[in-house]
Structure 1
């Protein structure tokens, strides 16, 4: 707006020329491997809670946001260039394309619910509840699993970016593409919080120096 005003000579100088904006960076919460294992192996007696857990884990292993998971159909799953199943979809938020090779954990969840009545009636890949109900059940799941953090659906996406991919050596470019980010700078926020990955990389570098000395 200021540039338009300057261009039309409605103002003769930029009133914000000496202004510097500031913001506080938000620390993204995610689950580590131990918490994922606890969540995966927990025997819930309630079928609805088990269903919410499974769908949450599906996003942990695909990186899909709630709305993108909810809208998936069988048409979104096809064979990729490597001969394995991939998800091909477009992010609701940014309209960017996401292509995600399916990990075994995600494939098993799809297989588990392929004959679920809700999936058949609605033509959806998974029986996803409303976002409000999903998050309400996730709070209960966190209590039952002893997870001391506010468990929301979006944590699944953060978990995919950190624990599942970047921590296991997947390149930040690949992670960015799978997450459907328009700018890799968005993905780099996840890389900043991975102290364990920094440690692994430096251990590898340290060993290289040792080998050279020997």
Structure 2
């Protein structure tokens, strides 16, 4: 859910977030994938999740989520391995949740990005979605959203069939 509340932020970026990345009601971080700096308002829903982890906070330089607490901060390899392991654990938990809820679709952490896109597709302009997704090229956003935007096609079909 935390990823979803930040427009589908990649799980590797979530796991590597530190308390120092949160300032003045905003999240500031650099994306792992393309090294772009990002600043997003912290939604109330995400703040609620942060409140759960705040009592575990040891320092401003520490990770928010526990999966990298034992990672060697000077070893990119160790951070990478522990991020991958954390992602696998979270995907396992999502699978268990799906089974308990009777969801047959395969769930993964990346689904937060797709869920946000699906819900936002008809409500937010492509330019704003490009900014929220942190895509370099609008074409990428449009291709990505093509899977989710249905309103225009639905309206066009209704216009022809119901006229």
**What interval of TM-score do these two structures reach, taking the shorter chain for normalisation?**
0.7 to 0.9
Taking the aligned partners of 1:199 and 1:102, their CA distance within structure 2 comes to 33
Q: Which runs of structure 1 show a deviation greater than 4 angstroms over 4 or more consecutive aligned residues?
A: none
> 2:113 maps to what in 1?
157
Paired positions, count: 138
Contact 1:135 1:152 survives alignment (8 Å):
yes
> 1:172 maps to what in 2?
126
Taking the aligned partners of 2:153 and 2:52, their CA distance within structure 1 comes to 38
Contact 1:98 1:178 survives alignment (8 Å):
no
Taking the aligned partners of 1:120 and 1:144, their CA distance within structure 2 comes to 34
| Pair 73,90 (structure 1): closer, same or farther in 2 beyond 3 Å | same
Unaligned residue ranges in structure 2 (runs of 5+): 68-84
Taking the aligned partners of 1:193 and 1:58, their CA distance within structure 2 comes to 23
Taking the aligned partners of 1:127 and 1:185, their CA distance within structure 2 comes to 36
| Pair 144,195 (structure 1): closer, same or farther in 2 beyond 3 Å | same
Contact 2:117 2:148 survives alignment (8 Å):
no
TM-score (norm 1): 0.57
| Two-structure CA RMSD over aligned residues (Å) | 2.4
State whether structure 2 residue 14 is matched by structure 1 residue 59: no
Instruction: Report the alpha carbon displacement of residue 189 of structure 1 after superposing the two structures with TM.
Output: 2.4
Instruction: Report the alpha carbon displacement of residue 114 of structure 1 after superposing the two structures with TM.
Output: 1.1
Taking the aligned partners of 2:51 and 2:95, their CA distance within structure 1 comes to 26
Deviations 1:127-180 (A, max 9, x none): 3471111111111111112222111111112222332x334x222222222222
> 1:102 maps to what in 2?
42
State whether structure 2 residue 148 is matched by structure 1 residue 188: no
State whether structure 2 residue 58 is matched by structure 1 residue 120: yes
TM-score (norm 2): 0.72
Contact 1:114 1:126 survives alignment (8 Å):
no
Unaligned residue ranges in structure 1 (runs of 5+): 1-56, 80-84, 207-214
